[in-house]
Amino acid sequence: MIVYEREHDFVMTRQDDHARLAGMWIPYWKRFYGDRREEMHLSVTEHDRGWIGLDETPLWNDAEDKPYTFIDTPVLLRLAFYTKGLDEVQSKSPYAALINSLHFTSFFPPSVLEEGLKSGEFPPQTKEWVDAEKRRQKEIREKLGLTDETSEYKVKQHLALFKCCDNLSLFICMHDPGTRRKLKLFAGAGFTFMAQWQDSYRLQLDPYVLDRELECEIGLKVVPKQLVRQEGIARAYAKTETALRVFRLVGKS
């Protein structure tokens, strides 16, 4: 679950909805590198499908006095749902699963993993999970013949594009529209652009990266804190109606 807190409520977006928002931009991306656009569309669109069941009933973080989010959900729970989603994506497209696996394992680079294991932040099973995903990546590369330098470069560009779309969607899901924040995004091959709200409807990308202006929408729930206190987070979330956040991606005028 993606959550940000306001004075009187929690704004909550399901991970799968965020991923589908990120994926909708791939078909229109002007600077797409090489082939496999359809597989990249699948990769980005489906990358958080492992969270679908988990997000049906939000969990409460007693220590922080707010709902658990995709950032602070207990590690073993996250890893189990990562694996579930990766297995499902791999059944549709091994290449999409490769990109997704590379994305998830990038959360645990060697130095961070080592320090987390020492401090107890990460349970011992974390290294087992990373090792298993490294094996998955190796097997997919070998199966698809992606073992040469040219193929590896393409994979890196596609992973960068994946992370770019993911981060742009998170920016939209984690702040109110119209925020004064700016976001610098890296889309691979040294290309960067800026995202900045012009008002509560128009989100400017500079330079513009799609082949057309695009109106987008994503579902979310604005869950009142008073209702959470009365009902608990699970019932409060279930009782709250889904709202649509509608916005338009535009270029610099």
- The DSSP symbol for 230 reads H
Residues constituting the chain: 253
199-209: burial string, b at 16+ Cβ within 10 Å, e else? eeebbbbeeeb
Average pLDDT of the segment spanning 144-167: 98
Average pLDDT of the segment spanning 217-229: 99
- The DSSP symbol for 242 reads P
pLDDT score, position 253: 79
User: Measured in Å, how far apart are the chain's first and last C-alpha atoms?
Assistant: 35
Give the pair of three-digit tokens for residue 197.
Answer: 């709200």
Q: Look at residue 189 and tell me whether its pLDDT is greater than 90.
A: no
Residues near 166 by Cβ (< 8 Å), separated by ≥ 6?
A: 19, 22, 44, 47, 103
Q: Look at residue 169 and tell me whether its pLDDT is greater than 90.
A: yes
Residues linked to residue 66 through DSSP beta bridges, in sequence order: 61
Q: Among residues of the chain, what percentage have pLDDT more than 70? A: 100
User: 231 falls in which pLDDT band (50, 70, 90)?
Assistant: very high
pLDDT score, position 190: 85
Average pLDDT of the segment spanning 53-73: 96
Q: Look at residue 43 and tell me whether its pLDDT is greater than 90.
A: yes
Contact at 8 Å (CB) between 26 and 41?
yes
Q: How far is CA 236 from CA 205, 227, 229, 232, in A?
A: 36, 6, 9, 6
pLDDT score, position 90: 99
Give residue-wise pLDDT tens across range 2-30.
Answer: 999 999 999 999 999 999 999 999 999 99
Q: Among residues of the chain, what percentage have pLDDT more than 90? A: 98
SS3 call for 2: strand
Average pLDDT of the segment spanning 33-46: 97
User: 246 falls in which pLDDT band (50, 70, 90)?
Assistant: very high
| 95 vs 21: CA distance, rounded Å | 20
Listed residue (11, 29, 1, 36) closest to 165, CA to CA? 29
Domain residue limits, the chain: 2-250
User: pTM, whole model, 2 decimals?
Assistant: 0.96
Listed residue (29, 151, 169, 25) closest to 99, CA to CA? 151
How are strands ordered across the β-sheet holding 202-206? 2-5, 9-13, 214-224, 243-250, 202-206, 192-197, 182-186
pLDDT score, position 119: 97
Q: Look at residue 200 and tell me whether its pLDDT is greater than 90.
A: yes
